[in-house]
Amino acid sequence: MSEKDDSQKLTKPFGRYVHTRIAGNLVFIAGQGCRDPETDAYAGLSKNPDGSVAAYDIQAQTRGVLQNIERALSSLKLNKNALVDVTVFLTDMKDFDGMNAVWNDYFADCTPPTRTTVAVRQLPGLNFVEMKAIAIL
């Protein structure tokens, strides 16, 4: 869900919150994982027969996260150029280089936002990277 309720293009939240919230001329984007809103599948995962995660591709997950941020921006008729600050959450800092490579490619054609990257113990769902963002209208 977003304030403009373009929710059919966004993932269904795990809880009662909106994907975007406008305050003044700022847009706050809730933490986005790599779950595809059409299929509900997580990007970059391979699973064991019992359904547990066998391996993940941090670059595929990062691309999925950035696509979901782009969807949230698009629901408000914005694009990545509106981003001013992003916080990246990684479950393991060994994934920093892979995430950073996708980040650098994604923002190669524009001025990137500021960024803070932190390691966390765990993220909701089957995400190994999540990002929350602030954009400007």
Give the strands of the sheet with 114-119, arranged side by side.
Answer: 20-23, 26-32, 129-136, 83-90, 114-119
* CATH class of the domain comprising 7-136: alpha beta
Q: What are the residue ranges spanned by the domains of the chain?
A: 7-136
**pLDDT tens across 40-89, in order?**
899 999 999 998 999 999 999 999 999 999 999 999 999 999 999 999 99
The answer for residues whose C-beta is within 8 angstroms of residue 15's C-beta and 6 or more apart is none
- pLDDT tens digits, 86-133: 999 999 999 999 999 999 999 999 999 999 999 999 999 999 999 999
